[in-house]
Amino acid sequence: FVPGAVLDEAADLTRRAGDRETGGILIGNLHRDPAAGDLFLEVTAQIPARHAEAELGRLSFRPADWTEVQAALDLRRQGEIMLGWWHCHLARLICKDCSIESQRRCRFATGTFSEHDRHLHRTVFPRAYSVALVVNDAATGLSHSMFGWRQGRIEPRGFRVINGDKRWQPPTDPSPRRRRRRNRPRSLRKS
């Protein structure tokens, strides 16, 4: 679950980044669905990586970024943890000479995870729950993609956008498990 405000902040930072990637760290809480026992994430905020080394096609975090994230977690005192990271892909620049129709189908404009992204995720975010949000900045507009671990591989993941003022609460209704399964995001359902 990702608050719309976090997506808005990431989009704003992407627009202001110009011709370089930007990104940050996603923080929040790990939850277990009491009905099914499934784990899921609740992102509560993003901490911009103000010191990251950024180029058109890659982003690398610096030690000062980790120091700021830890300071923010300590200051917030809400028991949050680092859930993952986010960054942008600047398809509008990479694909600037392509037709709009080509850009609509382009993997850079619709959500991809580069080999550099995979290396960073494997190295820095190896926990089974770790995720990566990508802001796809294409000529056709901004979109968001999520990636995470599934059976030891990094794959696209689903996510739900929630209002920033509503936190997830465990259900109190003792209704049948089958009914709750339908209400969970597809990415949280068992295959």
Tell whether the model's pLDDT for residue 127 goes beyond 80. yes
Averaged confidence pLDDT in the chain? 79
> Using one digit for the tens of pLDDT, what is the confidence trace for 110-119?
677 888 889 9
**Cβ proximity of 77 and 124 under 8 Å:** no
Q: Which pLDDT score, from 0 to 100, does residue 163 have? A: 80
pTM of the predicted model as reported, rounded to 2 decimal places? 0.77
The continuous run of DSSP H or E covering 162 comes out as strand 161-162
Stretch 167-191: mean pLDDT:
42
Q: Which pLDDT score, from 0 to 100, does residue 187 have? A: 45
Q: Say which residue, 95 or 167, is predicted with more confidence.
A: 95
